[in-house]
Structure 1
Amino acid sequence: MARMHWDKDLVPLCALIAAECINVGAAILFKAATLNGVNYYVYTLYASAISALVLLLPLPFVLRRSTGLPSFKSSLLFRIFLLGLISLGTRLCGAKAIEYSSPTLAAAMSNLVPAFTFILAVFFRMEKAELRSSSTRAKIIGTVASISGALVVVLFRGPALKSASPPTNYPRDSSSTQTKWLLGGFLLLVQCLLAPIWYIVQTQVIKEYPAKLVVVFLYTLCGTLVAAPVCLVAEPDLSAWKIKPDITLLSIIYSGFLCTCLICLIEIWSLHLKGPVYVSIFKPLSIAIAAAMSVIFLGDALHLGSVIGAAILSVGFYAVIWGKAREEEELKEQCELGSPAIQPNNRTPLLQSYVNEEDNSK
């Protein structure tokens, strides 16, 4: 029993915390690379290609060991291709948003993911919004708070609590304006809208085809194949594709190997084990990490609006998560009592998938 607790609780906890640190590190390195003049189309394509190459290396060993896997159907291949498109869209939006704004804003806006997940679950009738239920009220209040906090952090910067101090190695772009900050916030909003859709599709794909590494490789390859013509057309200047051995090369390798590849493996494994809501629980950690690293390594200013908005976002985030945890407790209690109203097979596929897998494994 202790072994099961270690595998299902402590290991995913540590892995997802490490994933947030890796993700923030990638954002900091990319921001430093943009200050050094990197083109974000070049960055996105090279990082995606590195991820596909890294995932290709262990693939023959995985396929040799894998037995009894289902055959690829056209619907499954389409959803894997869709995963590649969504993943590419999130990378492009996220990279351009960080170029326009800051890693701290990106970390704060990522807390919208659970709220949008709840909205999509209700919209697609994967979850019922019962206003009499305390869990539903908590999720609604948390969703409103999260969206309000996002508006504060994007629209109200306020006075600087920590003035900007440009690092000696990277010149600061003095042309950054409020318009770019707002555009960066809008792109991050799009990224947060795409993330729950990615979680939904990926959870369904893993249920049908449980070979996680194969799925990650295939949709990463699809994203790279789509990114190649798109990025080459968007950036036709061949001189921009020549990478010097400096912070730009480091950021591309870091993103391709650790961020895109390792984080995808951690999240897809955690999605299979714990479900999509649990994966998003750790997003608020990135705010403090990003704020500290941005001030230390990039010399970014820390504004009052970012602190207030991030605090409201975090409160809303945890309200949604508390509501979800409360709902799961009620569902388990009703299932243990043998309530005919709620059966394990009828639970929402978006927010209850990991409970189904536990029940089916018994």
Structure 2
Amino acid sequence: MWGASVTAIMVATEFLEVGLNTVNKAAMNRGLSDFVLVFYSNVLGIFLLAPCILIFYRKKSPPALTRSTIYKILLLGVLSYSGQMCTYIGIGYGSPTLASAMADLSPAFTFIISIISRMETLDLGIKSSQAKSLGTLVSITGAFVVTLYKGFPLTFAPWHNNRSLHQVLRIPHSNWIVGGFILAFHSIIFAVILNVQTWIIRGYPAEMLVTLMASIVVAILSSVVSVVVEKDPDAWRIGMNMELIAFVYTAAFAVAFRSVVHKWALRKKGPIYVAMFKPLGMVIALAMGVTFLGDKLYLGSLLGAAIIAIGFYAVIWGQAQEEKMVNDTESSNKDPLLSNTPTVM
């Protein structure tokens, strides 16, 4: 039952995240600065988290902070700021659909980094590790297809044999390829963040406190960078429009709710489990992008998404097989009938 609750919350989080990307893209199309978005959303997120923490810890004391934990949270804050900037800059160049496609790389990168950090083991002699390794390569291939191959629009418009190369491929003069690589880099940062958060939260199980302290670090970093980079005074003004919706949505969901939920799920299930939900956003993003932003649906997007899905499910299958092996081993060790039954001669 508890595992089903974690799964349901993670699925709901992916729906909200696609909505977040769509809202932010709409606000950026109206001139919203991504630097200002990161600063304002983290400041507002701090004010949302602080009273929640006071209420949560009104009858009990939070865990004691150590110097080592503080250093880890500082590292998490720097990574979080880098990840947020890559996300919003990438969405600005691309689209919410592209952001969800590149997020499908997260399980693969998380798997690789988990092996490097020793949170996962790799044994190519067993099928589960073979599936996870092959799935990693396939999903990366699919992401490159989404980024580099455009293809023809999936409409009833006739196909012309004399179409130019830039109508078939996403060549460098298009912002799409720039956004794709920036968002792919964010997937790497996100994978590192998941492993760092798992490292922190298993030693300091206080999700909201860790989120608050990391958001403070992000707010400080973004204030310095934004003042240097964003020279236009008008960019700092907030009106009662789509920009205000983007600020509030980002603060309430991305900075506060999603960050706490991810840390909670990481403590319960681990980094690969959290990353496995990212491909779900691809289907949602395609529908929302076409419906609300007028994005065209191209063959390359569907083909790349299908390749990514194959790799994704290979990784999931391998993960499930490994968990089953661990559970079977633990059950055998705990079963008194298996361990204490005398041998009949």
- The TM-score normalised by the length of structure 1 is 0.84
Q: Which residue of 1 aligns with 2:184?
A: 189
Instruction: Say whether 1:53 aligns with 2:47.
Output: yes
Higher alpha-carbon deviation: 277-286 or 294-303: 277-286
In the aligned structure 2, how far is the partner of 1:122 from the partner of 1:58? 35
CA deviations over 1:44-88 (Å, ceiling 9, x no partner): 111111111110122222333233x44211110011111111111
Q: Deviations over 1:25-53 (max 9, x none)?
A: 11001111111111111111111111111
Match of 2:234 in 1: 239
- State the Cα distance separating 1:242 from its structure 2 match: 0.8
Query: Is residue 188 of structure 2 the alignment partner of residue 211 of structure 1?
Result: no
CA–CA distance in structure 1, aligned partners of residues 114 and 212 of structure 2: 27
The Cα shift of 1:324 comes to 1.1
Structure 2 CA distance, aligned partners of 1:321 and 1:295?
28
Quick one: which of 129, 136, 143 aligns to 1:136? 129
The match for 2:104 is 111
Preserved CA contact (<8 Å) 2:14 2:277: yes
Q: How big is the shift at 1:311?
A: 0.9
Counterpart-to-counterpart distance in 2, 1:154 and 1:48 = 30
Instruction: Classify the secondary structure of the residue corresponding to 1:264.
Output: helix
1:260 Cα offset (Å): 2.3
1:266 to 261, 267, 278: 261
**Cα gap change, 1:259/1:125 in structure 2, threshold over 3 Å: closer, same or farther?**
closer
The answer on 1:254 being equivalent to 2:249 is: yes
Distance 1:48 1:267, change over 3 A: same
Q: For residues 220-279 of structure 1, give each alpha carbon's deviation from its aligned partner in whole angstroms, at most 9, with x where no partner exists.
A: 111111111111111022221112211111111111112321111221121122222222
Question: In 2, are the aligned partners of 1:50 and 1:256 still within 8 Å (CA)?
Answer: yes
Instruction: Check conservation: 2:53, 2:208, Cα contact below 8 A.
Output: yes
SS of residue paired to 2:174: helix
1:132 is matched by which residue type in structure 2? Answer: G
**Counterpart position of 1:26:** 20
Superposed counterparts of 1:43-122, under 5 Å = 43-67=37-61, 69-122=62-115
Kindly indicate whether the alpha-carbon contact (under 8 Å) linking 2:63 and 2:206 is maintained by their aligned counterparts in 1: no
Cα deviations by residue, 1:88-147 (Å, 9 ceiling, x for unpaired): 111100001011011111101111111111211233444333222000110111001011
What is the aligned counterpart of 2:288 among 274, 293, 298? Answer: 293
Partner residue, 2:9: 15
* Unaligned segments of structure 2, at least 5 residues: 157-170, 335-345
Partner of 1:167: none
Compared CA separation, residues 162 and 231, structure 1 to 2 (3 A): farther
Given that 2:147 and 2:176 are in contact with CA atoms closer than 8 Å, whether structure 1 keeps it comes out as yes
CA contact (8 A) 2:134 2:311 kept: yes
SS of 2:154's partner is: strand
1:226 aligns to what SS in structure 2? Answer: helix
Q: Please point out which of 195, 206, 211 is paired with 1:200.
A: 195
Distance in 1 between residues matched to 2:85 and 2:322, nearest whole Å: 35
Matches within 5 A, 1:343-354: none
Runs of 4+ in 1 over 4 A off after TM superposition: none
Q: Does 1:309 align with 2:304?
A: yes
Assess if the C-alpha contact under 8 Å between 1:17 and 1:282 holds in 2: yes
**For the Cα contact (< 8 Å) 1:121–1:127, is it kept in 2?**
yes
* Secondary structure class of the residue paired with 1:208: coil
Of residues 37, 41, 44, the one that matches 2:35 is 41
Equivalent residue number for residue 223 of structure 1 = 218
Q: 1:150 deviation in Å?
A: 0.6
- Secondary structure of the 1:218 match is helix
Write the deviation string for residues 169-228 of structure 1: whole angstroms up to 9, x where unpaired: xxxxxxx97431111111111111011211111112112211211111111111111111
User: Unaligned regions of 5+ residues in structure 1, if any?
Assistant: 164-175, 340-362
Q: Which moved more, 1:124-133 or 1:220-229?
A: 124-133
User: Counterpart amino acid of 1:55?
Assistant: L
Q: What SS does the corresponding residue of 1:330 show, helix, strand or coil?
A: helix
Which one has a bigger Cα radius of gyration?
2
Count of residue pairs the alignment pairs up: 321
CA contact (8 A) 1:22 1:259 kept: no
Alignment of 1:310-325 (within 5 A): 310-325=305-320
Shift of the alpha carbon at 1:301?
0.9
Distance in 2 of aligned mates of 1:264 and 1:27: 16
State the superposition RMSD in angstroms: 1.9
Shift of 1:162: 4.7
1:46 corresponds to which letter in structure 2?
A: Y
Choose the corresponding residue for 2:332, options 309, 332, 337. 337
Matches of 2:329 and 2:5 in 1, distance apart?
29
